[in-house]
Amino acid sequence: MQPTIKIIMLTIVLFFSPLSFADGNELLKKCAEAESFLNADEDGDSMSFGFCVGFVHGVSSIMKVMENDGSLKVCFPKGGITNGQSMSIVLEYLRKNPTELHEREVFLTMKAFLDAFPHPCR
């Protein structure tokens, strides 16, 4: 299957899945609970941890495919990033941009990575 077709299929699945209709408020809530779980706080939730890490990893994976295909200008580190680092990047972006929380979680996650790893590569 050609890379462009893969990108289109992955994008359709991600944008039209039931999970993609949540906004940044919901993503912030889930990822904050995930962060608490990771830090062994009482407010942490293992289900939120799984959702946040899985969602953020899914978006970053699609962005890496698009980066390799040349259809997206982003500069992820050559060695990759950990799931914990990915979650921290998204949480930091959401907390610093509260006026954008009404937007879809997919777009906000992409914005967080584009902000953290801008093109051209440094």
* Two tokens, residue 109: 């996650």
pLDDT tens per residue across span 14-40? 554 554 558 999 999 999 999 988 888
Residue 74 counted as domain residue: yes
Residue 39 counted as domain residue: yes
State the alpha helices, DSSP H only, in 17-104. Answer: 24-38, 46-69, 83-96
Q: Does the pLDDT at position 42 exceed 80? A: no
Tell me the average pLDDT across 34-62: 87
Residue 122 counted as domain residue: no
The domain total for the chain is 1
Higher pLDDT: 70 or 5? It is 70
What percentage of the chain reaches a pLDDT higher than 70?
Answer: 80
Residue 41 lies in domain: 3-116
Between CA 100 and CA 18 the distance in angstroms is 20
Phi, psi angles (nearest 5°) of residue 119: -100, 140
Tell me the average pLDDT across 101-112: 96
Q: How far is CA 60 from CA 2, 10, 32, 39, 50, in A?
A: 20, 12, 19, 23, 15
